Amino acid sequence: MAYQGFAQEYLGMPAVTRAYTTACVLTTAAVQLEFITPFQLYFNPDLIFRKFQIWRLITNFLFFGPLGFSFFFNMMFLYRYCRMLEEGSFRGRTADFVFMFLFGGFLMTLFGLFASLFFLGQAFTIMLVYVWSRRNPYIRMNFFGLLNFQAPFLPWVLMGFSLLLGNSIIIDLLGIAVGHIYYFLEDVFPNQPGGKKLLLTPSFLKMVFDTPEEDPNYNPLPEDRPENQPRDQDQNQQQHPQ
């Protein structure tokens, strides 16, 4: 029963959330089992552009450190807010959600070229949290029963929590900055006088991830119309009785 419940919950996850969360868990498991090492995954521009180890552009977003409190904490927030975004403001817009992933990852990678940042998964999680929090400004949050605040303060609370744990806040600030850039270009600037939508999802992403809309001008042949099919089946049964 427990396995069936887990399988049902897993298969019920939206596609992008399921794919990204699974990739993160499998990457960490592979490191934990010593199939691979973090040295094969971290962001290194020299190895990427000179040794053509292109996979590092992706794997640095998938590793959240060894199994422990930090890993499970990040996975909890990644799963929760990635899913709420995909099922909320991006519902029915999978291509736009994937494009946000690509846009955010691109900006973080650019920053990583000029800073000594080896893994960007935590920054990516903070970006997701930031975008969700700005799109849900009136939701009241409770942080482990200790703090009550409105959603837009959540990324800053997480940054303060990282500071208390002795971690660098550069990663959190990067996630907040990239999240704000996306939020401003997508939600704020297009609604300002003279503003326009600058982030346009490429058509090939829509072809791959979005279900094509039905053409309102499409007029099917009479035999292809759904209302005629049961009648045709009844006629066939009358003509060919068993």
pLDDT 10s digit of each residue in the chain, 242 long?
Answer: 667 778 888 888 999 999 999 999 999 999 999 999 999 999 999 999 999 999 999 999 999 989 888 899 999 999 999 999 999 999 999 999 999 999 999 999 999 998 889 999 999 999 999 999 999 999 999 887 788 999 999 999 999 988 988 788 999 999 999 999 999 999 999 999 988 999 999 999 999 998 765 555 555 555 545 555 554 445 444 445 44
- How far is 82 from 165, CA to CA, in rounded Å? 24
Q: Which contiguous run of DSSP H or E holds residue 169?
A: none
Torsion, Cα of 151, 155, 159, 161 (10° steps): 40
Q: Where are the alpha helices (DSSP H) in 165-220?
A: 170-183, 203-209
Please choose, from the candidates 181, 83, 173, 171, the residue with its C-alpha nearest in 3D space to the C-alpha of residue 132.
83
Give residue 161's identity as a one-letter amino acid code.
F
Q: C-alpha 135: how far from its chain's center?
A: 15
Torsion, Cα of 128, 79, 114, 50 (10° steps): -130
Contact 28, 74 (CB under 8 A): no
Question: Residue 144: its pLDDT value, please?
Answer: 76
Q: C-alpha 131: how far from its chain's center?
A: 11
Sequence ranges of the domains in the chain = 2-209
Give residue 104's identity as a one-letter amino acid code.
G
Question: Residue 195: its pLDDT value, please?
Answer: 86
Residue 152 per-residue DSSP state: G
- In degrees and rounded to multiples of 5, residue 128 shows phi and psi of -60, -45
Question: Residue 225: its pLDDT value, please?
Answer: 57
Name every residue whose Cβ is closer than 8 Å to that of residue 36 and which is 6 or more positions away in sequence: 30
Residue 124 per-residue DSSP state: H
- How far is 217 from 59, CA to CA, in rounded Å? 45
CATH superfamily label, 2-209: Rhomboid-like (1.20.1540.10)
DSSP lists the bridge partners of residue 141 as 149
Around Cβ 46, how many Cβ atoms within 10 Å? 8
